[in-house]
Amino acid sequence: MRGEHEARTVSLVHFVIMGCGRVGATLATSLEESGHSVAVVDQNPEAFRRLPAEFAGRKVTGLGFDRDTLVQAGIEDAYAFAAVSDGDNSNILAARVVRETYGVDHVVARIYDPGRAEIYQRLGIPTVATVRWTADQVLRRLLPMGATQEYLDPSGRVSLVRADTHVTWIGTPLEEIEELTAARVAFLTRGGGAQLPGPGSVLQDGDELCLLVPVDRVSKVERLLASKKEAS
C-alpha cells in the first residue's frame, strides 16, 4: 500500500493533521484548496471553528496519538501526517505512532523547544521549531516534490524558489540545469548547510536547489525539475 502512495503524484492523496490551531487550520485549508483530501484531529471540537465554512474534510474529535482516532481520520490511507498541536510531547508521540505503526513516510512534528527538535530529527522524524515556524515549511516537508517560494522581489518579476528534483537529475552540472530551466542557481543546501555553486558544480543526492526564476516561469521550472530528466 505504501509503495502505491510513493508511485502516485501528490495531487490526489490524503493528509491527516493533528491540531486545529491557526497553523493546523491553515494547512488543512491550503491542502484542500490544492485538491487533496484532509482530516483534522483535535481533542477540542470548538477548535474546528477555525476551519472555513466550506471545508469538506473530516473533523475528528480525539487525541492524535490514539489509534482509534487515527483510523477514524483515515491514517491507514494517508500519504502524510502533520502533528501541529500546542504540545511537544503529544506531537512527537503522535508522529512516532504514525511512522512506526502505520508506516507513513511523510511525517512532520511541530516542536517548541529547538534543542529537543534536534534530538527528534536524529530519530528520523522531521521537526519544525517554533522559532522558524511557518505553514509553508510544513507543506515543504509533506509535499516533497515541487517548489516553495522563499522570496519575491519588490517588482514581482523574479522569485527565489526552493525546488525539489527528480532522482534522475542527480549528477547533472548546475550550469546545465540553468540552461535547461532558464533560471539561475542562487545556492544549494547540502548536508544541512548552504553552499554557493562554483565552476563544475554538479547536483548530488540530497541537495536542495534554490533558484532565481522569472515569476511567469516558476510552474514550468517546477514541473521540469520534478519530472524525469530527458536523456541529452
| Residue 154 vs residues 149, 151, 159, 217: alpha-carbon distances, Å | 14, 9, 10, 17
227: its cell numbers: 519530472
> 70-81, pLDDT tens digit by residue?
999 999 999 999
Q: Give the pLDDT band of residue 224 (cuts 50, 70, 90).
A: confident
Residue 93 has pLDDT above 50, yes or no: yes
> 35-68, pLDDT tens digit by residue?
899 999 999 999 999 999 999 999 999 999 999 9
What mean pLDDT is predicted for residues 89-115? 87
DSSP state letters, the chain: -HHHHHHS-TTS-EEEEE--SHHHHHHHHHHHHTT-EEEEEES-GGGGGGS-TT--SEEEES-TT-HHHHHHTTGGGEEEEEE-SS-HHHHHHHHHHHHHHH--SEEEEEES-HHHHHHHHHTT--EEEGGG--HHHHHHHH--SSEEEEEE-TTSSEEEEEE---GGGTT-BHHHHHHHHT-EEEEEEETTEEE---TT-B--TT-EEEEEEEGGGHHHHHHHHHSPPPP-
The pTM for the full model equals 0.56
What mean pLDDT is predicted for residues 138-148? 60
Q: Give the pLDDT band of residue 179 (cuts 50, 70, 90).
A: very high
Q: pLDDT averaged over the chain?
A: 82
Q: Find how far residue 165's CA is from the centre of its chain.
A: 14
